[in-house]
Structure 1
Amino acid sequence: MARLLLFASAREAAGVSRDTVAGATVAEVLGAAKQQFGPSFEAVLASCTVWLNGEECSPDALVGEADEIAVLPPVSGGSDISALSLDQLRAQRNALQDEEDAVSFVRRLAQGRLDIARDEQRRRSSGVPSSADITDGITRVFAEERGSGSNRPPRDTAVVVDHPLVLELETLCVESGFGGLRQLDDAELESCCQQLSEFEARVSLQRKSLFVQIDALSSELVRRYRAGSTNVDALLDENN
């Protein structure tokens, strides 16, 4: 049994973004998923990349309850990027970069909230009285440097408040009691931390998938430049 994470067209075909599916290997889990989600999902799965815990894997890889299997459709649902026009190629890359900006923003939000919840756990274990100002912990958490996990240059981010991941994170925080950490008992606080951790891990995997797709499109742009089928001005002009 493993957690199955579905993205893009795989998610649309299955009707869910994640589920727990029985199976002792990746192949068994995917086989059970095909039976559960039907022929539309099976058709999409045929062109997908499958990762186990963030890395590509073989079908016979063993899985357990703590493992995550991600089903990642190819760029643009399987289109041949070499057949795309330059404008289409740039448009798809820009759309993916915008989505990666949003995913990275939500990931940082989740990381910050997880750090705050874990800081509350540390406060309790160290015996600091609950009368202590909670803003002290918040200030300390956000003063710590966090690696971005990527060597890509930062981009301006404007994420709408009704982005699905923003709404999902807000719902999770409400249901887990994040807004009242001091009122949670130890078991509830641990559950809150666990839910935030799982959400952050899933969003990080989605971000990694977007990087793979963006890199594929960028590589195609570079290939065309090297082959002489376009010029550098056309590649750099994002407004055409």
Structure 2
Amino acid sequence: MSWLDDVVQPVLAEVALTDLAERPLAEIRAMRARCQSVEASVSFLRRLVQGRLDVLHAVLDHREDGGAGADVASLVEELPAILAAGPPRPQAGRQAVLVEPSEEEQDRLVAELDAMVPAATLAVLAERSDEELAADAARLGDLEAALSSARRALHERIDRLEQEIVSRYKSGEATVDELLA
């Protein structure tokens, strides 16, 4: 997916965690903010991917259990249960950050996802073969894995940058008064 290559990978490469002690606090804060912003976009896209993946798996499971292709009406009716019953999501115990990407970024991410597996595909699931659905699910599964990996890498950087900021406050090198000034 080009968005991962164009946006996420450069940030991961730019935010080197070497020589943090020599860097100005403002630079460390800016690095953390950049990572947090990109992480919000990664998390947003990952949630979209997981939702589509949950729907595809539900249809494939329904077919495997002997049911005919699910129609749109039954999928819409079952959607809350499908999304709630999706694969277990790991709970990392980290504080939730209530940051969403901008509307423009959200539109870009949805367009990237639609290029891979269009949302319109979900409206014609009954017409698609098991092989087509499995191929879509495999592509989304690969994307979800790549997003999860990128998200972990971003969280590693965010955590390390926060540790550096906290250590400066603990050592007295930085003060709250400077932050408020």
Shorter-chain TM-score range: 0.7 to 0.9
Look up the equivalent residue of 2:142 and give its one-letter code: E
CA spacing shift, 1:176–1:81, aligned 2, 3 Å = farther
What are structure 2's unaligned runs of at least 5 residues? Answer: none
Alpha-carbon separation, structure 2, partners of 1:181 and 1:135:
12
Deviation at 1:152, TM superposition (A): 1.3
Please list every run of at least 4 consecutive aligned residues from structure 1 whose deviation after the TM superposition is greater than 4 angstroms: 6-12
Is 1:108 aligned to residue 50 of structure 2?
no
Deviation at 1:143, TM superposition (A): 2.8
Is 1:75 aligned to residue 9 of structure 2?
no
Is 1:182 aligned to residue 121 of structure 2?
no
Paired position in structure 2 for 1:171:
115
Q: How many residues align?
A: 172
CA spacing shift, 1:213–1:86, aligned 2, 3 Å = same
Look up the equivalent residue of 1:73 and give its one-letter code: A
Task: Give me the identity figure in percent.
Answer: 27
Task: Give the TM-score of the pair, scaled to structure 2.
Answer: 0.78
Is 1:143 aligned to residue 72 of structure 2?
no
Contact 1:115 1:141 in 2 (8 A): yes
Deviation at 1:8, TM superposition (A): 6.8
CA spacing shift, 1:234–1:149, aligned 2, 3 Å = farther
Alpha-carbon separation, structure 1, partners of 2:120 and 2:136:
5
Counterpart secondary structure, 1:151: coil
Match of 1:201 among 128, 139, 145: 145
* Backbone CA RMSD of aligned residues: 3.0
Contact 2:60 2:133 in 1 (8 A): yes
Paired position in structure 1 for 2:63:
124
Paired position in structure 2 for 1:152:
94
More helix by share: 2
Look up the equivalent residue of 1:120 and give its one-letter code: V
Task: Give the TM-score of the pair, scaled to structure 1.
Answer: 0.61
Is 1:221 aligned to residue 168 of structure 2?
no
Q: Which has the higher contact order (CA 8 A, sep 6+)?
A: 2
Paired position in structure 1 for 2:25:
86
Deviation at 1:75, TM superposition (A): 1.5
